[in-house]
């Protein structure tokens, strides 16, 4: 598998009884605002945020 970029995305974790970390909440707020997206820059309850990264190296 060749290396490729994975876009930042939400990942559902509420069904696991978990909560997003302070770092994930801050990363979502920063990336959401930087992208110029409308609406609140608050991570939805029951989700965490995975930042953009490279896979398959």
Distance CA 28, CA 41 (A): 7
What pLDDT score does 1 carry?
66
User: What total number of domains does the chain contain?
Assistant: 1
Distance CA 21, CA 44 (A): 12
E strand intervals along 1-57:
4-6, 9-12, 47-50, 53-55
What pLDDT score does 11 carry?
97
| Beta bridge partners of residue 11, listed in sequence order | 48
pLDDT at 22 over 70: yes
pLDDT, tens digit, 9 for 90 and up, residues 23-54: 999 999 999 999 999 999 999 999 999 999 99
What b/e readout covers 15-40, taking b as 16+ CB neighbours within 10 angstroms? Answer: eeeeebeeebbebbeebbeeeeeeee
Please give the residue range of the domain that contains residue 34: 4-55
pLDDT at 57 over 90: no
Give the mean pLDDT of 5-31: 96
């Amino acid at each position: 598998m060749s290396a490729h970029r994975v876009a930042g995305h939400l990942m559902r974790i509420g069904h696991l009884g978990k909560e997003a970390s302070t770092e994930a909440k801050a990363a979502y707020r920063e990336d959401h605002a930087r992208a110029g997206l409308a609406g609140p820059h608050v991570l939805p309850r029951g989700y965490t945020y995975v930042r953009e990264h490279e896979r398959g190296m």
